[in-house]
Chains A and B, each alone.
Chain A
Amino acid sequence: MSESQSFEPVLLEAVGVENGHSFESYRGRGGYAPLEKLLAEKQPPEVVEMVKSSGLRGRGGAGFMTGLKWTFLPKDHPGPIYLCVNADESEPGTFNNRILMEDDPHQILEGTIISAYATRASTAYIYLRYEYPQSWNALQAAIDEAYAAGYLGQNIKGSGFSLDIYLHRGAAAYICGEETGLIESLEGKRAWPRIKPPFPAIEGAFRKPTVVNNIETMACVAQIARRGVDWFRSIGVPADPNNPRDPGSYGPKLYCLSGHVEKPGCYEAPLGITARELIDQFGGGVWKGRRAKAVIPGGISMGLLSEAELDTPLDFAGPGKAGCLGLGTAAVVVIDETVSIVDFLHNSCRFFAHESCGQCTPCREGTSWSLRMLERIRAGKGRLKDLDLLAEIGNTMGMMPGSTICGLADGAAWPIKNAIAKFRDEFEEYIKQSNPTGYMETDPVPALPILSAH
């Protein structure tokens, strides 16, 4: 039995427990006592230090050091300071936030209250994606219970700290998961991400200092407060001593395993489990006795691992070494050998073209152009030249080369990049077979008259 499988769920400890979502159940499992202890014994800077030294990295996709992000808030700001909890969870393949919200909402709330205390936030907004009505009900019920029990509102447990939490519902746009897109939407505006600087910690929601953290990150904060920094650091992959820039990958992680596996589900394991271990030991292996053709390591934005790369550790550093964008949301989607990679890429391009906010030229036009090319390829009018154009779009669109305002373009680019680089033979085969008379064409061809998607 590997270390991973013997790991006793912590973040998911309420799953399967009867009424595990209730306040009583959470209290019974030790919840809210850590909060009271912190409020009584520690000052906010000490709580920031606690989270910083735990090595917790944000679970929303970017993996930025949470404690470090909190230190970007201006000192001695008169306030108000806002904490936004990102429950938009729109990265395709991701569902761990949903499970946390539905099955253990109080864990999230305790983490949120502790984080708000640390950052001196007076108001927290949970920005919840529209498509999660059950999470909405569960969170609102938990918030009501927390107010009733005196863990929210004015002067919490006599500590002098006050916090209000508002549950705010989105309207089904992926870009509202981008932190400044979220803030714009919260303010009632179009979710066009803001240019940075200024960063939200300096000027965020309503022009005030704002921290945006993911739901799972909040749950981790609650667990760090309960079980301690040393416990958190005992799990996962320590920082590489030879690389001073490596902050390590500490703590447990919720892996969303879906796609062509026998047992899809949300599994908790220490950071660093490999894709193969996750699929075989937790997921019961690739389904129907088939082989995996490709595996998405952390949500579709991260790109693809080929079958040969399945021993890549799924920590913050691993997928990058295999040419993927990163760990992302650790949403692992298995694609078996019967799936056409052309279909996959078409689906991916359709998603990003639909969700691109449209304000900056490379993303707005690049996502649209790549979708049209995939449409034309699938309609049997593809050219080999299209693969070069797609690769170029994949390599030039994004925040990392500096050509776009936010990371959606990078997320749109990586599947294109990985798919063309790692599965080029399949693309060429498809194009040659479906368009035997026209695949060599290098001059522009007429556009398809109708765009079936987006």
Chain B
Amino acid sequence: MPTVIVDGQEIEIGADERLNCIEAARRAGVEIPHYCWHPGLSVVASCRMCLIQAGSRNAETGAVSMIPKLVPGCQTPVKDGTVIVTDSELVRDSRARVEEALLIDHPIDCPICDKAGECLLQDYHFEHGQGERRADIHAFTSRRRDVGPTVTLFVDRCIMCTRCVRFTREVSGTAELMVSARGAKEEIDTFPGFPLENKLAGNVVDLCPVGALGDKDFLYQQRVWFLKKTANVCGGCSAGCSIVTEHNQDTVYRLKPRENPHVNKWWICDEGRYGWHHLHDQSRLVEATRRGSDGFEAVEWAGVVSQLRDDLTAAGRLAVAVSPQLTVEEAWMLCAVARSIDPEAFLAVGYVPMTGDDESFPGGFTIRAEKAPNRVGVETVLALFGAVGEDGNVPGWQELLQRVQTDTIKAAWVTAGYPTPDGSWCDDQTAAAFDGLDCLVVQDLFDSPLSARAHWRLPAAGFAERAGTWVNCGQHAQSFEQAIRPPAGVWPEGRLFWNMLGRQGLYDPTGVRQQIAENSAAFAALTGDLPATGVDLRLQQLAAT
């Protein structure tokens, strides 16, 4: 295995790995500061912050010969015997000078800049910069320029790393951002009439090392040091991009992508990035309500557990729509609950929203037309419960619609949780299919034509309010934590199903996952501690067979 020596420390890297000095040093726990390099973009080596000393160690004699000048760590590949020095005076002085150079004409905006607290210029200044200013004093504030509908640019804060320009060229393929003018007068800009307007535009804000590019959705909303970060998965489509939900006091402020080499690499689309506002929409259902003689009455959650079971048992044959918004654990418990009420309950996958076609971008990122995160997971759960039709397929929403219109089905439990505040996922005509039922339970985030007909309206959880596992369109399963609490004492699906199964104590998604993993070949991969980037379900399935 090739050995690389970083500041005297030896580390081994994979025989087939192609690493640069920054990546190799990271393996040794050494962080080489850098602005312009990004693993998902081309190498330009223009910021010069990553300059280090490199050399090689002779395999036989052990003699070390260093390249006499500084080299950029981002453009220098490592191989067996590469020596990297990051802590010499030469390197330290070089970093201090690059920092100084960037700060010479940087606006004094920290107190009003969103990036404060997560700004590389700030961080590197404290870590690597000089203590005192030597350049002439030039205190000014940045100009601001609109570059598109979702992104704003604070022109003078830019340090010309060109990550944003390279992103729009290489990853979104839209090339809206450019550099204009030359030398110290360079600025980021767009061509007149061609604003930054693509479905991946928000990623440039993540990429910007300083506060030049700002997300209009987040601008001035919250100081970043107040934000707590929870690893989640985006619920916007079946791609299942790994995200970080950043929140404070049960309020989400923004979503950011989480690096996942198996799914989304470093990016998320704008639809997913801004797809959290529905969580705080005022019209969310927050009470369990039951239709009485005088309209809907609120029911205490503890009472829901028994009353709901009584109502459904009394009604007769049960049909259940298991929403693709539910986690694997929730879907499994729901099926168990349904079968405990009616051993022959008809189980089907709930409505799966589809919009347009899959859309792929030059960097490889794909936005899926299937706008739900866990159809695959739900289908696999249903198959475990034997809910497979004669054609070998798990029944879906259309089949459920047909079934509930027959005389056999008397009750239906429709789990939904779709992020559409206007309830438009189910129109009146579709909802009418449920008219003849004795007991209709609708568990959703918002009112809809379907909930208007329900006998039970139960509030659902949003994606950031649940912990559990989703399986994306590529059979990749990811488990995530709960970020915020649901509003006003709502019992989200997991908690309700757990209690309806008669289990004691708090809902334990990890325990349920473990139980599912131990009892099924399909989910065998979900056992134990899962990596933050998830697992491919198929691996263990192959092993099991």
Contact = CB atoms under 8 A, between A and B. Distances in A.
A421 interface: no
B455 interface: no
Interface string B73-102: 001000000000000000001100110011
A402 B102 contact: no
A357 B159 CA distance: 14
B136 A354 contact: no
A308 interface: no
B183 A355 contact: yes
A447 B48 contact: no
A368 B105 contact: yes
Contact of B160 (A353, A359, A362): A359
Contacts of B94: 396, 403
Q: Which secondary structure dominates chain B's binding surface?
A: loop
B136 A403 contact: no
Interface string B207-228: 0000000000000000000000
A352 to B, nearest CB: 9
B186 interface: yes
Contacts of B93: 396
Interface residues of B, number: 38
B183 A362 contact: no
A389 interface: yes
B102 A195 contact: no
B70 interface: yes
Contacts of B101: 361-362, 364-366, 369
B183 A402 contact: no
Interface stretch (B39-47, B321-329, B482-490): B39-47
Contacts of A367: 183-184
Contacts of B182: 173, 354-358
Interface string A376-407: 10000000000001000000100011111100
A369 B104 contact: yes
A360 B183 contact: no
Given A401-B69, A402-B71, A403-B70, A369 B135 contact: yes
Contacts of B49: 361
A404 B101 CA distance: 13
Contacts of A77: none
Contacts of A364: 101, 160, 183-184, 186
Contact of A358 (B70, B75, B186): B186
B532 interface: no
B448 interface: no
Contact of B70 (A173, A356, A389, A401): A401
A388 to B, nearest CB: 9
Contacts of B445: none
B48 A360 contact: yes
A173 B183 CA distance: 11
A40 interface: no
B134 A360 contact: no
A354 B46 CA distance: 18
Given A173-B182, A367-B183, A403-B94, A359 B162 contact: yes
Given A356-B182, A357-B183, 6 more contacts: A358-B181, A359-B160, A361-B101, A362-B48, A373-B136, A400-B69
